[in-house]
């Protein structure tokens, strides 16, 4: 029930901003922005992982702005093992 209510609020907010896509269309559009992890080994034998979010496309920016969300919600993360 909570998920359905959240979906309704998201769709209403988007409609108020002029975005009238179906939920399946929104999911398809938003699936284009991803988190990418690049792993490599340095000269000391340590494994370095760099994780970042891909550049948002104009359709992503429009949806995020309508919902009041940052276009890059997660910062770049580097870990060394």
Number of domains making up the chain: 1
Tens-digit pLDDT profile for residues 9-53:
999 999 999 999 999 999 999 999 999 999 999 999 999 999 999
Bridge partners of 35?
Answer: 53
Integer angstrom CA distances of residue 21 from 5, 7, 24: 17, 13, 8
Model confidence at 5, in pLDDT bands (50, 70, 90)? very high
Domain that holds residue 14: 1-80
Instruction: Report whether 56 contacts 30 (CB < 8 A).
Output: no
**Where is average pLDDT lowest: 3-7, 25-29, 33-37, 71-75?**
71-75
């Amino acid at each position: 029930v909570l998920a359905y209510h959240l979906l309704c609020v998201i769709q209403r907010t988007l409609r108020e901003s002029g975005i009238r896509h179906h939920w399946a269309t929104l999911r398809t559009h938003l699936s284009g922005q991803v988190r990418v992890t690049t792993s490599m080994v340095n000269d000391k034998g340590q494994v370095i992982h760099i994780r970042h979010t891909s550049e948002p496309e104009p359709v992503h920016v429009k949806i995020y702005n309508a919902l009041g969300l940052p276009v890059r919600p997660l910062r770049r993360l580097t870990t060394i093992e």
